[in-house]
Structures are given as structure tokens and as C-alpha cells.
Structure 1
């Protein structure tokens, strides 16, 4: 795999809204549902995918959570979405409001320039 391919990971910002069914569960039931229904489906269908979760219900009525998925490539991302669609996560526990998918610094690779970024210490 070339360096350019290795750097071209896919990042997806999955904007979701909780459903009444999810909110009716206890916290432990939610944890159990995710651990037994969602994670095994993802692990069985894809590799090279990482996730982070952000709560936004404090600031937005339309989107309650942002799930950030990083996939090694577009194929791994497609497998992730296929896996999620076959679980209660998709349109039962959460409404998928929007998907924002991109590659970090894609313009820099396209034009052969250094990426522009800020770093604070």
C-alpha cells in the first residue's frame, strides 16, 4: 500500500437522533443493546473501522449525537454502513439525520500541497 493510500482514510460524521424506543430503555439496557446487537454486527462484517461518539442533545434539537467513524478505505466504510443497517441501530434506536463523509486533507493530496492546519499547545 502506498503512503498516499494509507493517508486517505475515510471519515464519516454520522448525525443521529435518538428515538423514543431508545430513550425508553434504561442506561444498562442501552449499553447491553449496543454491546450485543451493534458491535458484533460491525465486527463480523468489517475491519479497519474506528469510532468516537459525541453527545449534542444539549445544543441541538435536531441531532442528539454525532458518531465519528474512521475507516481505512471506502470499502470498509460501505461494509460498516451495511452492517449498521442490519441492526436495530439504524432507524429503530436512532434516526440517521445526515451523513457527512470525506477524507482528511484531500485537497492537499489532489494538488500536491502541504495541508493547512492549526496546532495549539
Structure 2
């Protein structure tokens, strides 16, 4: 997929369930490849996804998925697809979904963004 300017960014905060942890690493990879990826493959048009491990820093949230979507509908379609898989509430608890617009204030007020420059 080509680069795009995301309209929304969503941070999905997750906590692993025992069902996930009881799987071996190869079983986890297979479960993800067989049930999660196919469910979202056709729905993930206009979205990017990144994955962050956090379990070594916090007990409340073990993982964070970051979704960037071209528009709100693209993100909605991904969530609807995820809800139909064992990922949702069987392997992971969805602790919170935080959706935001990067530099929304700057766009709203037509001002420069307030951020550090790239190093």
C-alpha cells in the first residue's frame, strides 16, 4: 500500500488472556495467521498497523496496536473484522481504544504544529 496521510490514528490497548499465553510461540503465530490476518486482510484497505510490546513496563496493558487509517470507515471495518476473531476477548482483553487526529488542533486553528524536529 502506498503512503497516505492518515485521517485517524487509533491506539488499541490490550491485555493478554491466559488462552494466548498457554499457546506455544508457533501456535500463537499460526493462530494469528489463520484467524486474525485473513479476517482483516480484505477490510484493511487504507490502513496501516504497528505492534508494541509493553508487558515489561506495565501489568495493566501488555500490548498496544497502533492503527492509522485513511478515514474513519476504514478503521471501523478493521474493528468489525477483529471482533469476529478469537483475538477479541478470547486471546486479548481490549482495555481501551483511543482514537485521535494527529495535530488536530493545528489543522483546526490553521497554525503550525508544536512538535520536536526529527533528529
Q: Does TM, scored on the shorter chain, surpass 0.5?
A: yes
Counterpart in the other structure of 1:3: none
Which runs of 5 or more residues in structure 1 are unaligned? 1-5
Q: How many residues align?
A: 116
Counterpart in the other structure of 1:92: 90
Matched, 1:103 2:110: no
Q: Return closer, same or farther for 1:45/1:8 CA change in 2, 3 Å cut-off.
A: closer
Out of 59, 64, 76, the position equivalent to 2:57 is 59
Out of 16, 22, 28, the position equivalent to 2:14 is 16
Would you identify which runs of 4 or more consecutive aligned residues in structure 1 move more than 6 Å? none
CA contact (8 A) 1:8 1:106 kept: no
CA contact (8 A) 1:17 1:97 kept: yes
Out of 24, 27, 34, the position equivalent to 1:36 is 34
CA contact (8 A) 1:47 1:76 kept: yes
Which runs of 5 or more residues in structure 2 are unaligned? none
- Cα RMSD after superposing both structures: 1.2
Shift of 1:120: 4.2
Q: Which structure dedicates a bigger proportion of its chain to helix?
A: 1
